[in-house]
Structure 1
Amino acid sequence: MANHKPALFLSSILMLSLVLAVSMAESRILGLTGSLKGKTPECDEVFGVGSGDNCFDITQTFNLTTKLFDSINPNLNCDALFVGQWLCVAGSA
């Protein structure tokens, strides 16, 4: 009697690949990929960092809450600002 284990294993891998491909395609069609990650912030106005600027002073100058400032500037490291860096000072998250 022939050993069918390799063929069964290969067909299982192919079936799983097909299911994964179809589910990814459906999520793109239905627009679900963006909703899983959160919304992308939209920036309406930017500010160029100058010498001596820090995040606190910038939020005070533009009357921003820390929460809004952080949400429109994702991944910003306030301890490593540099002159000429562009920061979003108006927008929505």
Structure 2
Amino acid sequence: MAKANINKLAMSLYMVVIVSFLLTSTIAESRSTPSIGFAVAKAAPSCDTVFGVRSGDTCFGIVQTFKLTTEFFDSINPNLNCTALFSGQWVCVDGTAN
């Protein structure tokens, strides 16, 4: 009878080790980076005026046309890919960069 209890204990310990390994590897695979302190989320930019891109337009040309700085234009269009502009795409040309 004692041998059966030892086997049950060993099986229980193996299960704990396996579950611990799976939990640890799952956490490690999430690749989250711990941060120190509190992170303050930036507010999304606010757009007041948009411009419809036409054939041949470039970000640089739009910046010059609307007398903007490149930094401001980029800040109000944070997800804009200037190398892939297409006709009919809307870009922000006036607003608030937060």
CA distance in 1, matches of 2:79, 2:52: 17
TM-score, length of structure 1 as denominator length: 0.62
Moved over 3 A (4+): none
CA distance in 1, matches of 2:58, 2:40: 32
Which residue of structure 2 lines up, in the alignment, with residue 14 of structure 1?
Answer: none
The structure with the larger Rg is 2
What's the C-alpha RMSD, in Å, of the aligned pairs?
2.8
- CA drift of 1:75 comes to 1.3
Which residue of structure 1 lines up, in the alignment, with residue 12 of structure 2?
Answer: none
Please state if 1:50 is matched with 2:50: no
Matches within 5 A, 1:15-34: none
Q: Name the count of aligned residue pairs.
A: 75
The structure richer in helix per residue is 1
Pick aligned residue for 1:84 from 88, 91, 95: 88
Q: Percent identity, please.
A: 63
Matches within 5 A, 1:65-84: 65-84=69-88
TM-score, length of structure 2 as denominator length: 0.59
Structure 2 portions without partners, runs of 5+: 1-8, 10-14, 16-37
Structure 1 portions without partners, runs of 5+: 7-31
